[in-house]
Every structure is written in C-alpha cells, then in structure tokens.
Chain A
C-alpha cells in the first residue's frame, strides 16, 4: 500500500491526549483516532501510558493480530523510554484481580478490519508505576526518527507540573479531553493554557469535551459553558500562519453503548450518523491532520454486525453463518478454522469442495476458502464457484493461505488471510480480526474438543505408523467420513472390505494426515491377541505407563485416565479380522479415537463398520497418471481392467514402469515405451480372462490381483535375480505381514533356506551374501513387497499377495517352503543359554512377530519346537504380565499339542517348565507346581538327578512351593537344586548362583536366618570377585546380606551394610530404581528395629510410593512395603492409620495368596499389634490368635514368626488384663525360643523382655513395658 507522506516534514506528528480527570473518553479517542488514521493509509503508533482502565489496550484487543518485541521495531533506546523495563521481577501482581495490561516491551499490532492496514501500540504494563521519565526533547527526537506518520500518546490524568512540561515539549498537538462537569472543564482549560505556555516550539491544542446529550446546534448550556471556558484559546489569532488551525473544539458525545464491553466506535457505529462518537472522532482526526483525513475507512456491514454481536450489542440471529470451503487434503485446516469460529461464537459449516457439488447454505453466508491448487481446480481461481449465489457479487468470499499449500493464483490481498508464517496464537488473531470476531479471552470448555493448529512446530506426537505412501491418491470421501465420525464422538469405527482394497492404506493416510491433532498415534497390528498385546506393550513403554496388571492394561489405563498426560490419541488396530482378538484390549474410556481395519463383513460385531470399496474411476486414473504419466485414456483402460483395485493397480504400475525401463534400454523412446507397456499389459490381462475362482483372495470378489500377480511373476522370472526374489517372496509369504526384519532375511539361517528353495548351493549363496540386497531390490521394484531400507529396515508384503503366493504353489512345494521358512526361523533363534542373555532380546523380538503367522506352534519339527520353547522363555523373561498371559495361552496350547501322554519328550518337558514359569509369574502356583512335578519326576526317572534339565525343573518346583507358602518343602527342593548345580557346573555358574539365592530365601522363610546370612555372604563375596563393585548385582547381593544380618539381630551391621549398598547402587549408572527401592525397604526395617522411627517412616513412605508407581498396588513387593509402612505409622504413634493400612494389606493377601499362607498370617499378627495400640484389645487378641494359629500349623511352633506371634499374643492377653493366660503362654514361647533359636536371637530377647513385663504386671510392680515387635514380610 502506498503511504502518502508529507515530504516537507518527513517526521511524525506527535499528538498527546491529556485530561484533568477520569472518565473523559480519552483512551477511546486514542484508539478510534489511531484506527481512522491507519485506515486512511497513515502509519500510526499509539502509546498507552495511562494505567487507568479502560485503556487503549482494552479497546483494541479484539483487532490485535500480532505482538513483537518493541525494540526490534522501535530501536532499543526508544523502546526503553516508551515501555521502560521495571525493576520488579516479572511475577504476577500481588492483587488477586489485576487489570489486564499490555506487556512491557511489547509492540502490539492491530488490523483495521476489512482492509489490510495495520497500526501499532506500545504501553506500560500493570506492574509499572509512574510515567517514563527522561528527556522529553530526546524522546521527541527519537520518535521523529521513526517512520510513523502519527504518534498518539494517551497521557495519564492528573499531570503534575513536570508532567505537563514533558507533554508540552514532546507534542506537536494536544487533545484535551474532559468530562461533562463544570469543575473539570475549568481544570481542562487551565491545563490547555499551561501546555501552550510551556511548549517551546509551539503546540496546537484541541478541546474535546464529552457532552451528555448532543443537542441541536445553537442549543444547550453545557456547550456554551465549554466555549466560554476555552474562549481565550479560540480568540488567539489563528490566521497568522498558513496551515492547520492552532486551536479548536470538537464535542464528543458520551458513549451510550448498552454493554459492559469496551466498544470501539469505529467498528460499532453506523457511518453517517452525525450524532455518533464515530463522527466526533472523524472530526478530531480531521482537525489533527489539518483536513487530510476526514472519514474512517468503511467497515463492511458483516464485520460490523459480528463485532456488535461480539461486544454484546446485537443478538446472534443477525449474524451470518460462515462456511469453510476446503479440499479434503486441507481438512486439518478446515477443522481448526471451524473450531476457532465456534469459539468466537459464530455458526460455521465445513464444506469439502467436490466437483459438481453445490453448497448447501444460505445466501448470507460468508465463505472462507482454504486456498489450494486442488480447490482452484474445482472452484476456479477466483473462487467464483464458492459463492453461495453466483449472481450475488457482494457475497463475502475470503481466502485463507495456509502452510504447506502452494497457491500461486492471483487473489486480492484484502480478501486473503495469510496464515503461512503464523504460529497458533497469531493465526487465531489474524483470522478472527479479519472477520471482526473476538476470541474469548480465556479458553473455555473442554479444550480436548478444539481442533489443534495443524502447523504447530515442535509438538511431540508419539507416533509409530509406517511411513506415508507418497503415491496415495484420492479417497477423500472416506477420509472425510472417518474424520467426521471420529470427531463426532460416535466411538470407534471399523474400515471393512475385501483384500487389497486399501483399508490399511487408508488408515495409514488418515493417521499421517491428522497426526497433528493427537498426542499419541499408535499402529497396532491385530492379527492375533499376542500381537495386539505386544503393540500395546510398546505403547506402554513409549508413554511410560506402568501397572501391575501388565503393560497392555497399563497403556489402556493411561489413555483412559481423565487427567492423564495423553488426552488426544488415535489407536489403529490393523487387520483385526476377528473381533475376539480385541476383547479387553480396546480402551473403554477416554477422549481418544479408535480406528480398526478388518476383512470382516460385519458379522463379528466390530463397531461402526464403514465398507471401503475399490477406488473410484477418477481416483484410479489419477493414481496411474500421477505415477506413470500416461494418458487418461490408457489409465482408464487399465483401471477398468483391474476393477480399480488399489493393490492390483500397484502391481500393474510397477510392472509397466519396469517394462518401460526395459524398452527404453532397448532404444525405444521414453514416451512410446510407456504406451507400449500399457498395451502389453492390457493384452496380457486380456489373455487370461478365464478367471480361476481358486485364485481369489479370501474376502475378495475378484481375481484382479491374482491376474496381475501372475504377469508380475512371469516378468520377474525373466529378470536377473528375479527367480531368487520369487523364492524369497514365497518364504516371506509365511512370515508376518507387518514386516520382516532385514537382519532376519539376511541371516545365514534364512539364506541357507533361500538357497535350498532356489536349488542353489548354500555355500555359493552365502559367499555372495551381499547379493541378497539385489534380490530384495528386484522384488520391491515389481511391488511384490516393499522394502524399508531406513530405520525400520524391514520387508513388508501385503497379506493378499502372501495368500496368493501360498495358494499358487502346488501342495508339496508349499509344504516345502513352509518347512524351509520354519527352519530358517528356528535357525535364527539364539541358543539356549543365549535365551537368558538380554543381549539377544532384539532377535527374539523379531522372531516373536513371526511366531503366529508362520504357524510354528503347529509344527512337529524338533528344531522348530525348540525355537518355540526358547521363544516362550523369552516372553517369560520379559517381566510383563500381559506378555505372560498371552504367552501362557500359547504355551498351554503347545503343551496340549505336544503332550504324548505317557511318553513325553524332552522338548515337551521343557515347554512344561516354561509354562510352569509363566503360571508362577502370574501367581498360579498350584498349576505351576503340577507341571513342574510332572516334569521333575519324569526327568529324574529318565535322566537322573544331576541332569541339567532336572535341576531346572527342581528350581521351578522350589519357586512354586515358596509361592504356595510351603516353605519347608521349598527348602528341601532348593537344597537339592543348589547341590546339584554346584556339582554340575561349579560355584560360579549363573545357575548355581541363582540356586544359592533361592536357597537363601528359603532359609530366611523357614526361619534359619543364620544359614541364610552365611549363604548371602558367600554369594556377595563371589559376586564381588566375579563382577566387582561396579556392578549392581554385587550390591543386590549385599542387600540380602543386610537383610539377613537384621534377622539374626545384628542391627548395626545391617544398617552399615544396607547404607553402603544403597549409596553404591545409587552412584552406579546401571543401578535400577527397583534395586534402590528394595534396599530402601530393608533399610527402613533395620532403622525401625534400631528405634530410628522418623527416618524409617520417611523411608518407608518413599519406598511404598515408589513401588506403587512402578509395580502397582497389587504387586507382592508393594503389599509387603505397605505393611512395613503401616508398622512405621504405628511406631510413630499413629495406630489408626496403621490399622487401616494393615487391613487393606490383609484383604489383598487373602485375595491373592493360597489359604493359610504364612504372609497372610504375619499380616494378621501385625494388625493385632496395631489394634493393641488403638486399645482395641479384643480385636488385637482376635487377629493375633488367627495369625498365630495359622503360623503354628504351617511353620511349626519353633519358627521365629510363630514365636514372635506368640509373644505378641501373650502381650495382647496381658494388655487385656488376662495375665494368667498370658504368663504360661509367654513362658512356653520363651522356652522354645531358647531351645531352638538360642538366647541371643532377637525373638528370644523379645520373648524374655515380654516375660519380664508380664510378670511385672502380675506382681503389680511397674517397670518393663510389653514388647510389640512386628514381623516383616520378606521377599519370597
């Protein structure tokens, strides 16, 4: 825009608006005059120096489009004086309700609605008190060096003498505003006089009185009074110099808007209303500019109406609707614009523009068009096609330029909202101000439903969707319907349809297109439950969701949480052909979206089926044209021949491209080559029109894919490496359609099988193993599969092609390929010892993907079964209960299949052991025990006691027995296992160490802490030798040492050991949180025993919350730590909380553990103690008795826990007043403790102390208190 400037001055005119009192309409005048000037092409800077509200800032807020650092635009010195930095730190003001104020150091820019003009403003923030000081002359100089035409200063009221001088020196013009009060008018007149006197270089003064009523000319006393007061000003000779008058009066009518909002008259007032404030501001502007600017630029009626509605001057029905027209590719932008319009209170419609489709909205509707080449193609470059009524040229059609769209068509700039460089906040301002709309100052309502800004940078989306397909075309209808369905909160939607029709492709495009609107977009292959669980497990890992029930469950819970970090998510379950696969594996709540793809025809009850048909004619033609550059006619012929099936088209495209390349190499000109390729393909397709129904893919009604695949394979056979590529594809047809890792395909094992399948010599193929990549490339060129050479590094084959390839081969050959691929997989599996080594986890993860698709579970091949066993072990070692559950299903099925009744072979026994492991991990100890015992007796019978596998099964049995609370049986088993492993593999082997560890636990559980301590020390010393002090394993063993030291009563030693272990493991980079928690947990108990109540409680609290966070409420470790925490509460004097926590704990134990389990009994005993602390003696006796009886039955009367429980019980009785009952009980317990635990055992010491106390009670001699030592539940 061409700015007209006064060449002669070349400097800004500085206008100060001053007033002697509040409520003068001064700030409103500044805002309106700035707008009028800017609308007439003047460059304007407003300066908001008056902190009284309403401020200039308040009036202009609705039209703000931008805010930038002031010093960039004004220069540092000027910015510093106009908006000086405060000394106070930028904290929110102390007052609760602070007036909204401009931000210090920020230059605001405002739009003149309905035009492209803008103007600026700077101001003082709320926390700044006092005016900017400084040399007025210098400020004036600086202002004049800017390129503004006008600088309008809103000066504060109550100017002191220096302030008046400041304004006088600074300004060229002063506008003196005054309220309609006699005294104020007098003050104003005085102010005007002062200004004139102090102005060194002369100043023009305008009196602008506010008048209540605006009487007819010649009437009204107030007007006369003002004139009289300013008579001296007007009487001055004005005609001396040419140019604008040096003084004047413009009356301003009082604002009478019926609203609480600060109304900008230029937007709200009807033009040509002589009595409106707008007219008065026009006259002020005219006077200031010396007649150059007389009228405000016209504001379109629609904008005026929207503005009046926004400031509540008009009801909504007068507002026209706004339609957002867009090409489906730009749906994200349309969503965002629609959301902004809704928030601003306007009715808006989304209108996906299609050829031939007529808009369905009223003639008053404003159209906002998201500009894109596709849109222009449909609606014309002038967007004439978008007018609600083509004849009505006054209809408002605005274009929106968005990031990512190349729009090169001419378009009137006043009709464009350019959002290309804007961030979310600025884009909102730009959009709304252009329309005269006001965004709500505060975000209101559920922000989850407001579409996100599509071009937001740096937003992290948790995203695992396969790469976008660059040749994706069309499908707009489906994408629109998907988006409509999901955003309408109608729940999950299922894309159904035949194979190769492009469901997954569609879902993938949807995910990429709308990823910006989500926090999490997760692609979950759903061919079976295990795979779904693996997918959800990966998600749990990504979003760090933890739950004791398992990773998949944790992920779903995290998504469903109303206050979780991930509010907006999209889960895509791909290939869920069976609805049962998703049972319990779909989120139940939450604000996210679920998209399912399935070949299911709707019979299995997947939600909201949306059937995907083949491409439309135009879409397939567009696709062929885009990738091949062939004529529409050729494209149409091929598309029709292939029934518009995307997969068939993809194969055909690849074939034609390869064919054309081949022809070009043979010298055929490029254009001709393509044409010839098309003709050859059509002929080939024609030649095999005799449709073989056997070649149909399940779920498909046509054989198009099969036909073109046959042509592809024929072409491959004539291509170097093509034969190998076909064999590779045949092998891959038995692997996961979700992707096959290239390391697997390139492995010696797989290459050996590829050689066998191709009739090659394996050694030759391995010698030139690099050539496998050429094989991969050839197949990919023909679209037999995709190869992702990037991060994913995988081969992906469409399921339909897999099915066809498997079906195409004769039965014998198919079986052979299947056998070969299974052998290849089995050979890729690491060896048995490697299965326990975390370094091989990635290999097993790769193999896991192929376990189900390859049909390995049905194989009778021993090597394959061996792999399956190792695979199940890998799942067992995963430490994820969801993985355990699904592995258990697999393993149980395998056990049933493999179990030959009387004669079970070695692999079956190993599968039994792995199945038992899974049972045990899941807490099904009885089931685990049955399996382990069967294997154990079989192993012992067949292979003897010292066979490796026998010992492994024995180790498992020990764990089962411990889990069942059968500690003595477990001990015997663990002893045998330990001795066996020690003899077989020596002291240092990991298996022996594991056995020592288990045995130590068993000794602790059976109450032989000294032996447990001896073993723990041996183990710690051995680990120190084997791993050294830099390995967390060493300190983990140290934790066990410290725990045992406490149990034998060596508290000081225990404290030192555990503290050292904690410090060391804390320092280690490899130390894990769980290790720290474990040591902390034990340390708290030792501290408690030593009477360090407060630190113990603090430590227990931390430990408990750590366990809850990391393992969930229901984990045994969490439960044990809760009981320990309860004891610390009790010790700290809060028995009430202790009782509550112990109750919770008890219920948990009763629910989870076998009846009569010692842990349940221990919990009951502790609860009795806490009840005694509450003086609930009957309760104490009841719970104590219950625990004691159970412990005596399960562990015998010489177990330390039984003796501790007896001491506690005697204490309860004594406390209740039954000393006669208590005394013999305690005497007996003390005697047993002395005989079997020795005098120095803590339990004996306690028993002796309690005995003394009870005797004292009997004798009535005060003194010793009853003991109340708790029992700590160890890790089993």
Chain B
C-alpha cells in the first residue's frame, strides 16, 4: 500500500545516458522510497557517476534542511555526497582487499541525525540511500536497532538489484541468515578457550561475553589516537574454517589492528563528506564485506571501539552486540 502523498512527493532524475537497463533498477529504487521505510533519497551510480536519483524532499517525512537550501540544491548536495561515498567505498574496497574477506558489499554510516548506506550491486555499480534517524538525539552511542528497518530495506534493495542480473544475494547485513540452513557448528571447547588480549586493561565481563564464534570475533578500543586494548577469539577452533595457510590468525589480527587505527580518520573523512547532506559526526560505521563486517562505534570525541565478525550470517547480531559493548564502555568511560 503506497501512501499517495509519497507518490506525489517523489522526484526522479536521470543522467544524460539513460540506458534501458535503468528502468527496472529505478522501479526497485522507487519501491524502496514508496515503502515508507524512512529512506528519502536514493541514487544509483556507475563508476562514481550518477545514473539516476529519486527523492522525497517534498514529503514531510524527509528531514528539514539544515540551512535555507531549496530542494534542487539539496538534491545536488545529496547526489554529490553520494558520489563521494562511492569513491570512499571503492578505495576502502581496495584497502580491505588485504584482509582476504571478500569485497566490500555494504557501507553504513550513521550520525546523530541520519543514516546513509552505500551498497555495492555489481562491479562498479552502487546504490546510495539517505534516511533520517528518528529521535536519537539524546544518546551518546549509536543504536543500530533504530535504523534496522532502513538497513533491512536497503539490503533487500541491493539483493533485488543483484537478482535482476541473476546474481546470488550476498546477504548484506546478514539479515537473510537462513535459520533452516546448516546448523551452527557445535561449540567445541568454548569453556576453556581463552580470548587473545593486547593491552593490560582488565576487561568487563560483558566485553568478553560478546566475543564468541557466533557473534563478534575481534574488539579493539582506541583512546586519544592509540589502541587502549584489543581482545579477540580469532584463534577459536570454531573459526578455523576462516583461516588457511595464506591467512593466519596472527596475520589477520595485525591487519585488524592497523585497520582499527585507521578507522578514526575514515570516520572523520566520511563525516565531513556527508556534512553537506547529513549533520553530525559519524557515530557508527559498518563496513560489510563478503565474509562478515567491520564496525566502528564512536564512544566520545576521543574514544572509539572497533569490532569484527567473520561470519556473514552474524553481521546483524554482532552489530547489536557491538552496540551493547559500546554503551557499556561509554557509560563506564
């Protein structure tokens, strides 16, 4: 059931090169907007160049502009910001290649007021969407559950777009975890498994509890630009299948540590990129790759937490666990 007001408010724009292939893709994007999930701007890009864009700026559900920008100006700003996000995603994709966890399929950026997702469809095609985050102003730490509807809708859009090309779903966000699929591997000897630690801080039990093969696999806390501590279960026997002779546990741990250190800069950069469209600094960042995801949660201006899961089906679960740990640390911090 589509809200007729939404339909009336919808504005569509196409780039100069309107190929027939856009038609169905645009239909899918339009469907997302008209579903009323909260997304108010969607744009499709090829190699960072806009193909088409749809928006609901004229609808009351869209957030009011920060300044006196009129809809055409906002449209342009969103399209530009979207393109910049695509560039960041592409460069990140190259950067994440060294983790051997597959391509970056989904990037989520959450700020105090808004959520932006950038899903890779195939090759150089990306779809970027903007949504408002309802009533989260008071919280210091991002809450993924507030935007899970948008997240899921975005993931469906990406999957649908792939289906158009007869491609399998990459299960972005892990929402499509098949409960009837292969059962989770039996817990081998979780009890006597000791997580690997870096840094000397004694950890809250909740932190270590969040680390398990079916959830988060790696956590790193950074303060004032330095790693305060890190803890992981990468060596857990249940995760053995994620490693091989080319990618060892220690190797991956090193790489995650380096990546975690770099994420503060990325969050700053992306925050500045988005600023013309979405106010507020980045509180949550999800880099969803083919195998799992990397999470960034801001705790305070000088404090952030990085988490990793290797299990694609657990991406949403791990995200929720990240939020829990982050809230705890923030409250304690």
B55 within 8 A of A: no
Q: Is the CB of A1008 within 8 A of B48?
A: no
Q: Is the CB of B268 within 8 A of A972?
A: no
Set of chain B residues within 8 Å of A1235, measured between Cβ atoms: 271, 281, 301
Chain B residues in the interface with A (C-beta under 8 A)? 15-17, 46-49, 80, 83-84, 87, 90, 124, 224-225, 264-265, 268-269, 271-272, 275-276, 281, 301-302
Closest to A968 in B: B80
Set of chain A residues within 8 Å of B301, measured between Cβ atoms: 1234-1235, 1239
Q: Is the CB of A1238 within 8 A of B265?
A: yes
With contact pairs A944-B17, A972-B83 given, residues A1239 and B224 touching in the complex (Cβ less than 8 Å): yes
Q: Is the CB of B47 within 8 A of A1196?
A: no
Q: Is the CB of B269 within 8 A of A1008?
A: yes
Q: Is the CB of A937 within 8 A of B84?
A: no
Q: Is the CB of B15 within 8 A of A940?
A: yes
A18-67 contacts to B, CB under 8 A, are none
A1209-1243 contacts to B, CB under 8 A, are 1234-1240
Q: Is the CB of B48 within 8 A of A975?
A: yes
A707-757 contacts to B, CB under 8 A, are none
Set of chain A residues within 8 Å of B87, measured between Cβ atoms: 972, 975, 979
With contact pairs A1235-B271, A1236-B271 given, residues A975 and B225 touching in the complex (Cβ less than 8 Å): no
| Min distance, Cβ B72 to any Cβ of chain A, angstroms | 14
CA distance A946 to B124 in the complex (A): 11
CA distance A968 to B81 in the complex (A): 9
| Min distance, Cβ A367 to any Cβ of chain B, angstroms | 86
Contact of A1196 among B17, B225, B275 (CB under 8 A): B275
A1188 within 8 A of B: no
Q: Is the CB of B46 within 8 A of A945?
A: yes
Q: Is the CB of A976 within 8 A of B47?
A: yes
Q: Is the CB of A976 within 8 A of B17?
A: no
Closest to B267 in A: A1238
Q: Is the CB of A975 within 8 A of B271?
A: no
Query: Besides the contacts A972-B80, A1010-B265, A1235-B281, what 18 more A-B pairs have beta carbons closer than 8 Å?
Result: A940-B15, A940-B16, A941-B17, A944-B17, A945-B47, A968-B276, A972-B84, A972-B87, A976-B49, A1008-B269, A1011-B269, A1196-B276, A1198-B272, A1198-B275, A1235-B301, A1236-B268, A1236-B275, A1240-B225
19 pairs, CB–CB < 8 Å, chain A vs chain B: A944-B17, A945-B47, A945-B49, A972-B80, A972-B84, A975-B84, A976-B83, A979-B47, A979-B90, A1008-B272, A1010-B265, A1234-B301, A1235-B301, A1236-B275, A1237-B268, A1237-B272, A1238-B264, A1238-B268, A1239-B224
CA distance A1007 to B272 in the complex (A): 9
Set of chain A residues within 8 Å of B84, measured between Cβ atoms: 971-972, 975
A969 within 8 A of B: yes
| Min distance, Cβ A336 to any Cβ of chain B, angstroms | 73
CA distance A944 to B21 in the complex (A): 13
Set of chain A residues within 8 Å of B49, measured between Cβ atoms: 940, 945, 976
| Min distance, Cβ A931 to any Cβ of chain B, angstroms | 15
A983 within 8 A of B: yes
Contact pattern, A 966-983, Cβ under 8 Å of B = 1, otherwise 0: 001101100110011001
Set of chain B residues within 8 Å of A968, measured between Cβ atoms: 80, 276
Q: Is the CB of A1239 within 8 A of B47?
A: no
| Min distance, Cβ A21 to any Cβ of chain B, angstroms | 98
CA distance A680 to B302 in the complex (A): 105
Among B83, B224, B264, chain A packs the most CB atoms within 10 A around the CB of: B83
Q: Is the CB of B271 within 8 A of A979?
A: no
A664-691 contacts to B, CB under 8 A, are none
Contact of A1239 among B15, B48, B302 (CB under 8 A): B302
Set of chain A residues within 8 Å of B268, measured between Cβ atoms: 1236-1238
| Min distance, Cβ B79 to any Cβ of chain A, angstroms | 8
Set of chain B residues within 8 Å of A946, measured between Cβ atoms: 47
CA distance A71 to B96 in the complex (A): 88
Set of chain B residues within 8 Å of A938, measured between Cβ atoms: 16
A864-915 contacts to B, CB under 8 A, are none
Closest to B280 in A: A1235
Closest to A974 in B: B87
Q: Is the CB of B276 within 8 A of A979?
A: no
| Min distance, Cβ A999 to any Cβ of chain B, angstroms | 9
A931-949 contacts to B, CB under 8 A, are 937-938, 940-941, 944-946
Contact of A1010 among B80, B124, B269, B275 (CB under 8 A): B269
A237-268 contacts to B, CB under 8 A, are none
Chain A residues in the interface with B (C-beta under 8 A)? 937-938, 940-941, 944-946, 968-969, 971-972, 975-976, 979-980, 983, 1007-1008, 1010-1011, 1196, 1198, 1234-1240
Set of chain B residues within 8 Å of A971, measured between Cβ atoms: 84
Q: Is the CB of A976 within 8 A of B48?
A: yes
With contact pairs A944-B17, A1236-B275, A1237-B268 given, residues A983 and B124 touching in the complex (Cβ less than 8 Å): yes
CA distance A1239 to B301 in the complex (A): 9
Set of chain A residues within 8 Å of B271, measured between Cβ atoms: 1235-1236
Q: Is the CB of A979 within 8 A of B124?
A: yes
Set of chain A residues within 8 Å of B272, measured between Cβ atoms: 1007-1008, 1198, 1236-1237
Set of chain A residues within 8 Å of B269, measured between Cβ atoms: 1008, 1010-1011
Closest to A937 in B: B16
CA distance A1238 to B302 in the complex (A): 8
| Min distance, Cβ B17 to any Cβ of chain A, angstroms | 4
Closest to A1236 in B: B272
CA distance A1008 to B273 in the complex (A): 9
Set of chain B residues within 8 Å of A945, measured between Cβ atoms: 17, 46-47, 49
CA distance A1007 to B301 in the complex (A): 20
Among B90, B272, B275, chain A packs the most CB atoms within 10 A around the CB of: B272
| Min distance, Cβ B282 to any Cβ of chain A, angstroms | 9
Set of chain B residues within 8 Å of A944, measured between Cβ atoms: 17
Set of chain B residues within 8 Å of A940, measured between Cβ atoms: 15-17, 49
Among A941, A975, A1011, A1240, chain B packs the most CB atoms within 10 A around the CB of: A975
| Min distance, Cβ A318 to any Cβ of chain B, angstroms | 93
Contact of A972 among B48, B225, B275 (CB under 8 A): B48
Closest to B111 in A: A1235
Closest to A1011 in B: B269
Contact of B47 among A983, A1236, A1240 (CB under 8 A): A983
| Min distance, Cβ B59 to any Cβ of chain A, angstroms | 25
Set of chain B residues within 8 Å of A983, measured between Cβ atoms: 47, 124
| Min distance, Cβ B212 to any Cβ of chain A, angstroms | 33
Set of chain A residues within 8 Å of B16, measured between Cβ atoms: 937-938, 940-941
Return the 9 tightest CB-CB contacts between A and B, nearest first. Answer: A937-B16, A1235-B281, A975-B87, A976-B48, A940-B17, A972-B83, A1236-B272, A941-B17, A941-B16
| Min distance, Cβ B120 to any Cβ of chain A, angstroms | 13
| Min distance, Cβ A958 to any Cβ of chain B, angstroms | 12
| Min distance, Cβ A1188 to any Cβ of chain B, angstroms | 16
| Min distance, Cβ A1166 to any Cβ of chain B, angstroms | 23
Q: Is the CB of B225 within 8 A of A979?
A: no
Set of chain A residues within 8 Å of B83, measured between Cβ atoms: 972, 975-976
CA distance A946 to B49 in the complex (A): 10
Set of chain B residues within 8 Å of A972, measured between Cβ atoms: 48, 80, 83-84, 87
Set of chain A residues within 8 Å of B281, measured between Cβ atoms: 1235-1236
Closest to B83 in A: A972
Among A976, A980, A1007, A1240, chain B packs the most CB atoms within 10 A around the CB of: A976
| Min distance, Cβ B307 to any Cβ of chain A, angstroms | 21
Among B15, B49, B224, chain A packs the most CB atoms within 10 A around the CB of: B49
CA distance A945 to B126 in the complex (A): 14
CA distance A1237 to B49 in the complex (A): 27
| Min distance, Cβ B52 to any Cβ of chain A, angstroms | 13
CA distance A1008 to B91 in the complex (A): 15
| Min distance, Cβ B109 to any Cβ of chain A, angstroms | 14
| Min distance, Cβ A986 to any Cβ of chain B, angstroms | 14
| Min distance, Cβ A784 to any Cβ of chain B, angstroms | 55
| Min distance, Cβ B283 to any Cβ of chain A, angstroms | 11
Set of chain A residues within 8 Å of B275, measured between Cβ atoms: 1196, 1198, 1236
CA distance A1135 to B90 in the complex (A): 47
